[in-house]
Structure 1
């Protein structure tokens, strides 16, 4: 776990500990600037960002809270929000936001606040409402003479079947280049929901609907079968246990979010961005959401709420928009958003805005940690060449249905 501190160095200073899952230098530099602008008006305060790896994040935060050493603030994903709210782990920051001059809480998209507001209490503010996108290696596409995904978006032929075909054509075992890499290369473990849900939605399936599991529906099985075929029938997709990093040129395609653009600063190839492909049910546009939260048992609750308000002000949301698409309507709808990241053209940023407008947030539930644990062995069973997809998905639904 890496830590980075900003602000006063006085021994008597109050320290706000803020957990994040990014180790990106560009992200931490930006977060440091936000911390410095807060400590400029709070000279006896320091802000320390602790980086916890994404796959361990929720578990380690939970252990810190159980051990009586919770952070003051942190990032929290949408799938964990209901469980943390239900457990009383998050502080209600509504009074601080209302009393902060010029904050304009009404500027946040109402739909974006659904997971974080309950009966007037506000338990978090989304700093990232980020659609999943396809990144592609334009150099590899041009060398192979294939039509690029962004061009196919324009002519209406960008589908999951086309992505599957492209990945197979672009796989080059002799040079160690894979056709497709899962989200952050973690699509069989901590990112399995992020990998499968967009495909499932594009084929008309769903994880669950209310208290009913839908993971064994024919539509869902068809979607999972498509991805399984990419891994085992086509051999185009980086399989479990193998490495094929898109950002170093070792995969032609991947699905991720706009924040990962920072990893392409030293890319030795031309690259592009496209929306998620369509399936038989149209677009499966999917949004991953993360919020800034203050923990109920943190040592500096009032100060933490003040910093939360500062970080999610209009000015700082506009600053974060370069990597984290905002929920503030005034920032998202401004022309400045389309030019907020020098590495991303306005046309590409328009894909981001479109994904936010049309996308649905990843599945969440107050028992999501238990659901995830119950689903894990069933997801693991998918990753073999002769896996019976329909039978495994039926068993998976049987495992999680009682929790819904």
Structure 2
């Protein structure tokens, strides 16, 4: 369904040049008066806004419609009396259909100016010519990508040495720990991934006396393959590896069969011993409910959970006392997995300048603090509400060592995740020994990398 962002969004392109935003907040935050400019100008040619408006067409997910647009409209309602010269319209599709919709629309000549891009699809859209290089825009505005954004967010903006998309929404994960449960068993907060195993050994119990354990240390979320790389995989990153890495000569290689990789697979298998027997059927919703009910000591916690009212209420109702801490470290230190959204500009767009001004606007730190529904990819945004609240500080710190599951996404990423996830799951379930699972995964991933010219 197509909707217009109405008058609250149309003046995005002039506000970058003409307005200073002060104190915009999310729905539960305070609002302060914002000064308004005395004159309305067209960002393209400086003419009065009596001219026909420029229509910028974008495509995003239905989740974006419910979250980011709602927040942005709330902030921009302060400027609703400014005459528009640009109108922004988005098509909204479910997340699962987004990439296919963009590809088919482009092939059919239905071109978009602004395209919502998932972190893993930047390479495929760039390779297909769907999104354009943004190097010149970045250069003209003197933007240092690695100064403006955290490293993981800046890294994923690039493909083949060029910038193709700009991050505006990011996530990372920390560890939620039931502090009351740890105190009961006289345990300290986990500092290493091995500590997680010791905690799981100590707290896994049959509390009902029916011969079936009903309290656990940490659930291994392996109901799908992606959690293997994004949730458990962050301890592979803490071991100094990713699903595949980049050599100095630019080639890609999987080192899962190395000592560090096998150590991670062994860790997964051992930790899996202290999980429910039917853990293969446990999705994230079931796992979070178990943590909220006080049945699990540790839970991988995303920032979006802070706004999950039902989850937070369950914690309160059950009087669960918990701390959010940095992820326990591995052989190489502390790390966390990342995800996120970016904006690209359509290669066939006739309004690239206006599209760029929109992207630049929503990545101003104070605006982005209002706009993004997850975490801001810019540390400067954590000086503004709501990210300047104490509960976000652990996420800000974790972002500094956050990483994507690979150093460079390739069009074959999803297929390789399946290979990795299947072998890791087989290891956790005891169907493969860690050494074999790690070596099988590395072998098949390297074969695919070679076939696609990455080696």
TM-score bracket, shorter-length normalisation: 0.7 to 0.9
Shift of 1:194: 0.6
Do the aligned partners of 2:115 and 2:345 also contact (CA within 8 Å) in 1?
A: yes
Alpha-carbon distance between aligned partners in 2 of 1:140 and 1:58, rounded to the nearest angstrom: 43
> Residues 171 and 63 (structure 1 numbering): CA distance in 2 closer, same or farther, change over 3 Å?
farther
Matches within 5 A, 1:298-317: 301-317=352-368
1:338-353 equivalent positions in 2, closer than 5 A: 340-341=386-387, 345=390, 348-353=391-396
Q: Secondary structure at the match of 2:298?
A: strand
Match of 2:305 in 1: 260
TM-score (norm 1): 0.74
Shift of the 25–278 alpha-carbon distance from structure 1 to 2, 3 Å rule, reads same
SS of the aligned residue for 2:231 comes to helix
In the alignment, is the contact (CA less than 8 A) between 1:80 and 1:365 conserved in 2? Answer: no
Asked if structure 2 preserves the Cα contact closer than 8 Å seen for 1:34 and 1:311, the reply is no
Structure 1 residue 190, shift from structure 2 partner: 3.2
Uncovered stretches (5+) of structure 1, i.e. residues with no partner: none
Question: Does the alignment pair 1:246 with 2:245?
Answer: no
Tell me by how many angstroms 1:57 deviates: 4.9
Q: Give yes or no for contact 1:20–1:74 (8 Å, CA) kept in 2.
A: no
Larger Rg: 2
Residue deviations 1:198-231 (CA, integer Å, cap 9, x gap):
1112234332232221122121122123223333
Maintained 8 Å contact 2:150/2:377: no
Moved beyond 6 Å, runs of 4+: none
Task: Report how many residues are paired.
Answer: 378
Q: Which residue of 2 aligns with 1:194?
A: 230
Q: CA RMSD in A?
A: 4.1
User: Secondary structure at the residue paired with 2:280?
Assistant: coil
Q: Does 1:386 align with 2:430?
A: yes
Picking from 234, 257, 260, the partner of 1:219 is: 260
TM-score, reference length from structure 2: 0.67
Does the C-alpha gap of structure 1 residues 330 and 377 become closer, same or farther in structure 2, counting only changes over 3 Å? closer
The aligned residue for residue 38 of structure 2 is none
Q: Are the equivalent residues in 2 in contact too, given 1:171–1:236 (CA < 8 A)?
A: no
Is contact 2:61–2:94 with CA below 8 Å preserved after alignment?
Answer: yes
- Confirm or deny: 8 A CA contact 1:168 1:236 kept in the other structure: no
Give the distance between the partners of 2:303 and 2:327, measured in 1 at CA.
13
Gap change, CA 1:380 and 1:294, over 3 Å in 2 = same
CA separation in 2, counterparts of 1:177 and 1:4? Answer: 47
Cα distance between partner residues in 1 of 2:204 and 2:108: 48
Deviation at 1:117, TM superposition (A): 4.9
1:354 paired to 2:397: yes
The residue number in structure 1 matching 2:5 is 6
Instruction: Report the CA distance shift for 1:68/1:240 in structure 2 as closer, same or farther (over 3 A).
Output: farther
